[in-house]
Structure 1
Amino acid sequence: MRDRLAAALALPLSALALAGCGLVGPQTYGPEERSIKVDAGDEFTLSLPASPSMGQDWYLVGPPPDPSVVERAGQSKETEAGGPDVEGGGSGERSFDFTAVKPGTTEIKLIHCPYSSSCSTTEDNPEPSPTSSSDTPVPTATGKPGTRPEYFVYTVTVR
């Protein structure tokens, strides 16, 4: 009986141990976690609240992170159809994926554009920028995106 109980608990406990070690998936950081420490070889994700269908989104802007410290591995978006307050709207997340390459420190800079007309791009400047000088974004120290374009700067230290 005791051996059967030990065997029955072994698999769930193994899965729990792997999840606690971060071996199940990349570590995810939100807008309030701006100082990130990871080990070389780790994958990590910056996951931010967005509603692209309503024009609210995030973009990686320059200067790019040091490629000898972190590499960009991609990005994705998840949107839930039909937000609670707006017909046809939706809430979701924008995720930016990275891989820690080797020890060092670098910055990852994102711009939050709270509505579709708050940021624009041109052929000469494909990087999103504010449409109005009164909307000139500044780095923000808060963890919650506001109603004006703002920069979120993440400091990543790879051990």
Structure 2
Amino acid sequence: MAVRSSRVTGAVAAALCTVTLVVGCASGSDADEPTSHPTQDKSITAEVGERFTLSVPENASTREHWFVVAPQPDASVVRAADRSYESADDGKSVGGGGTLVLTFEATGRGTTRIVLLHCTFPTAGTAACGGGAGPSPTPSPSPTTEPERVTYRVDVR
């Protein structure tokens, strides 16, 4: 998992908000080089208006998915801004996997948490991953396995 962040000036952010009004306010820019954080870094510090991303490996073809789950981040501190998928091989091979990129925007001063749930084939039948609604087409090799939860602490200054 990787964390990236970028900053822009208020004037640029205001202009981007106007242009992207339909899909939400954007305060990041493709021209800004994001700052990477180590995978094990579960603490994020951001400035109000700053965007940052959480990047996790994902492969839907193997029933592997990540979700932002309860408790949801405090919207007065952080809001979800975008969710995109980057194919590992530009989509040239079936089942190749890639990276899920979750973008957040720091909306106000404070501290909150972002909780990600990692649902995989063995955990897909659990209630946490939306399972339990009827029999699974293929028995899970470990039906009591709970999905992985990763919690990030976000401090906005």
Kindly state the Cα deviation for residue 22 of structure 1 after the two structures are TM-superposed: 5.0
SS in 1 for 2:144: helix
2:84 is matched by which residue type in structure 1? S
CA–CA distance in structure 1, aligned partners of residues 108 and 78 of structure 2: 7
- Indicate if the aligned counterparts of 1:34 and 1:153 stay in contact, CA closer than 8 A: yes
CA–CA distance in structure 2, aligned partners of residues 130 and 28 of structure 1: 34
Q: What residue number does 2:13 align with? A: none
Give 1 or 2: higher helix fraction.
Answer: 1
2:40 aligned residue (28, 32, 35): 32
2:151 aligned residue (147, 153, 156): 153
CA 114–76 in structure 1, closer or farther in 2 if over 3 Å, else same? same
CA–CA distance in structure 1, aligned partners of residues 85 and 120 of structure 2: 16
Is 2:77 the partner of 1:69?
yes
CA–CA distance in structure 2, aligned partners of residues 79 and 120 of structure 1: 26
**Alignment deviations for residues 40-93 of structure 1 (CA, whole Å, 9 cap, x no partner):** 11000000111122211211111100000001102111123599xxx8321311
1:47 aligned residue (52, 55, 71): 55
2:46 is matched by which residue type in structure 1? V
CA 82–96 in structure 1, closer or farther in 2 if over 3 Å, else same? closer
CA 55–26 in structure 1, closer or farther in 2 if over 3 Å, else same? same
What is the TM-score with the length of structure 2 in the denominator?
0.63
1:89 is matched by which residue type in structure 2? G
What is the TM-score with the length of structure 1 in the denominator?
0.62
Choose 1 or 2 for highest CA Rg: 1
Kindly state the Cα deviation for residue 102 of structure 1 after the two structures are TM-superposed: 1.1
Give the count of matched residue pairs: 119
Question: What does 1:10-21 align with in structure 2 at a 5 Å threshold?
Answer: none
The percentage of aligned residue pairs carrying the same residue is 35
CA–CA distance in structure 1, aligned partners of residues 67 and 73 of structure 2: 13
SS in 2 for 1:90: coil
User: Which ranges in structure 1 are unaligned for 5 or more consecutive residues?
Assistant: 1-20, 137-148
Supply the RMSD in Å over aligned alpha carbons. 3.0
User: Which ranges in structure 2 are unaligned for 5 or more consecutive residues?
Assistant: 1-5, 9-31, 133-141
2:102 aligned residue (96, 105, 109): 96
1:42 is matched by which residue type in structure 2? E
- Indicate if the aligned counterparts of 1:45 and 1:95 stay in contact, CA closer than 8 A: yes
